[in-house]
Amino acid sequence: MKRKNKHNESETHMKFGLSFKFHIIFWSLVQIYYFYTMDLFGFPFARILEIKILYLPFQLIAAYFMLFFLLGKYLYKGRYIVAILGFISTIFIFSYAVYFLVVYGINPFFKSTYVPPNFWKTFLDLETLITDYMRVIFMTPLILICLEFVVSQYNKMKEVEELVAQKASAELNLLKTQIHPNFMLSTLRNLEKLTQKWDKDGQIVIEKLSESLDYILYKGRKDNVRIQDEIDAIKGYITLEKIRFKKTIEINLEVVGFSIEKDISPLILFSFLEFNFKGIEGGDVPFSHCQIRIEEKEGVLTCEICNFKNEASSFWAYDVQKMERQLEISYPNRSTLLVQDLGEEYRINLQIEL
C-alpha cells in the first residue's frame, strides 16, 4: 500500500500543464522559425539542415530530461537547490557534449586538413561554449520549460481554488442542515400538543411547517434565491414561533425597503432568526418581547433583533461562531455581525453587502 501511494505521488508531480499536442506544435513552429531566420541571414540550406540535425536531438533530450526529471522530481517537490544545480549542470554538460562532438568528431571527419585544438584549450574556451553552443542549444528548451512551469503552476492554483470552494460549499451545506434538527424537533413537539385536542392552530402549523421544510430542503440547496423567498420563509417561521410561544413572547417583524429583484444566499436570515430562538422551551423563556427589523438600503441588508429580557434572565442561546462562519463563506469581507448585551435587552445586528 505504501508503494502504491509513492507511485501516485510521483504521477501527481509528472502531470504537466501543456498537452502533448502543444509540444508537437511548439517544436514544429520553432523549426520553421529557425529555417526562416537562418535563410534571411544567407545561410545555405544544406548548412542549416546540418546544424539542425546536429542540435535538435540534444535540444529534445535536454528539454525533456529537465522537464520530466528536474522539474517533476525536484522542483515540484520543493527541492529547489537540487533543481537549480541540476539545471546548471545539465546546461553545461550538454553544451560541452555538442562542443566536443563538433571539435573532435564532425570537423575532423568533414575537413581533412582540420587539426583539433588541445583538450584543455577547448574546455576553457567558455566564450565559444556560451555564445555558439549553450545559447543555441538551450534557448528553445528553456522557453518550453518556462511555459510548462507557468501553466502547470496556474493549473495547480486553479485546482487548489476549486478544492477550497468545494470545501467551503460542503461546510456551508453542513451549517444549513444544522437548522433541521432543532427547528423540526421544537415544531413537531408543538404540533403534537395541538393535534391532541385538534387546536385550530394545528392546521396552520402543518401548513407553515410544510412550507418551511420545502424551503430548507430544496431552495436552501441553491447558491442564491430571490430575497422575497427568504422573507416569506422568515414570515412562516415567525408564525410557527408565535403559535409555539402563544402570549409568552410578543414577536414583531418589520420589513422595509426590499427590491424583489435582489438575490441572497439562502437560509442566511432564516438561520439568523432560528438561532435566536434555539433551545427555548415553553417554561423557560428568557425574553418577553422580540423586535425584528429587516431593511435593505443602497445594496446593504440590515437585520436587527432586539430581545427584551425577563427579570434576572441570563439565558443566551445564540450561536455566534456558526453564524459568523456561514457569513464568512457566503459573504467574505461583505458582512458584519454584532452581538450586544445592553442590560435590559440583547441586541443582535447583522449587515450584508448584497
pLDDT digits (tens, 9 = 90+) for 262-297: 888 888 888 878 777 776 665 566 778 889 999 988
pLDDT score recorded for residue 248: 79
| Residue 90 pLDDT level (bands cut at 50, 70, 90) | confident
More confident residue, 247 or 123: 123
More confident residue, 235 or 222: 235
Q: What mean pLDDT value characterizes the chain?
A: 76
pLDDT score recorded for residue 254: 92
pLDDT score recorded for residue 302: 92
8 pLDDT above the threshold of 50 = no
More confident residue, 188 or 131: 131
330 pLDDT above the threshold of 50 = yes
Please name which of 160, 95, 184 lies closest in space to residue 134, comparing C-alpha atoms. Answer: 95
Q: What secondary structure letter does DSSP report for 116? A: P
- CB-based contacts of 29: which residues, under 8 Å, 6+ apart? none
Mean pLDDT along residues 220-230: 83
pLDDT digits (tens, 9 = 90+) for 181-196: 556 656 666 766 666 6
**346 has which bridge partners?**
307, 341
Rounded CA-CA distance 237/229 in Å is 12
Give residue limits of the domains in the chain: 2-172, 178-353
CA dihedral 262, 265, 267, 269 (to 10 degrees): -60
**251 has which bridge partners?**
290
| Residue 67 pLDDT level (bands cut at 50, 70, 90) | confident
pLDDT score recorded for residue 225: 87
| Residue 253 pLDDT level (bands cut at 50, 70, 90) | very high
3 pLDDT above the threshold of 50 = no
Give the number of other CB atoms < 10 A from CB of residue 110.
9
- Among 32-46, 55-69, 265-279, whose mean pLDDT is lowest? 32-46
10 pLDDT above the threshold of 50 = no
| Superfamily per CATH, domain 178-353 | Histidine kinase-like ATPase, C-terminal domain (3.30.565.10)
Helix (H) and strand (E) counts in the chain: 13, 7
Per-residue cell: 268: 442566511
pLDDT score recorded for residue 199: 64
pLDDT score recorded for residue 318: 54
Rounded CA-CA distance 220/216 in Å is 5
Contact present, 153 and 15 (Cβ < 8 Å) = no
1 pLDDT above the threshold of 50 = no
Per-residue cell: 348: 443582535
CA dihedral 189, 193, 199, 202 (to 10 degrees): 20
Provide the sign of the torsion angle of the four alpha carbons 207, 208, 211, 212, taken in this order. Answer: negative
Mean pLDDT along residues 52-74: 80
pLDDT score recorded for residue 56: 82
Percent of the chain with pLDDT over 70: 76
Per-residue cell: 65: 530530461
Please name which of 145, 142, 144, 136 lies closest in space to residue 34, comparing C-alpha atoms. Answer: 136
More confident residue, 52 or 103: 103
pLDDT score recorded for residue 176: 60
Provide the sign of the torsion angle of the four alpha carbons 273, 279, 282, 284, taken in this order. Answer: negative
Contact present, 268 and 296 (Cβ < 8 Å) = no
Q: What secondary structure letter does DSSP report for 278? A: T
Please name which of 169, 188, 187, 166 lies closest in space to residue 177, comparing C-alpha atoms. Answer: 169
Mean pLDDT along residues 9-13: 39
Mean pLDDT along residues 140-151: 83
pLDDT score recorded for residue 182: 58
9 pLDDT above the threshold of 70 = no
pLDDT digits (tens, 9 = 90+) for 154-211: 887 887 777 777 667 666 666 665 555 556 656 666 766 666 665 667 777 777 877 8
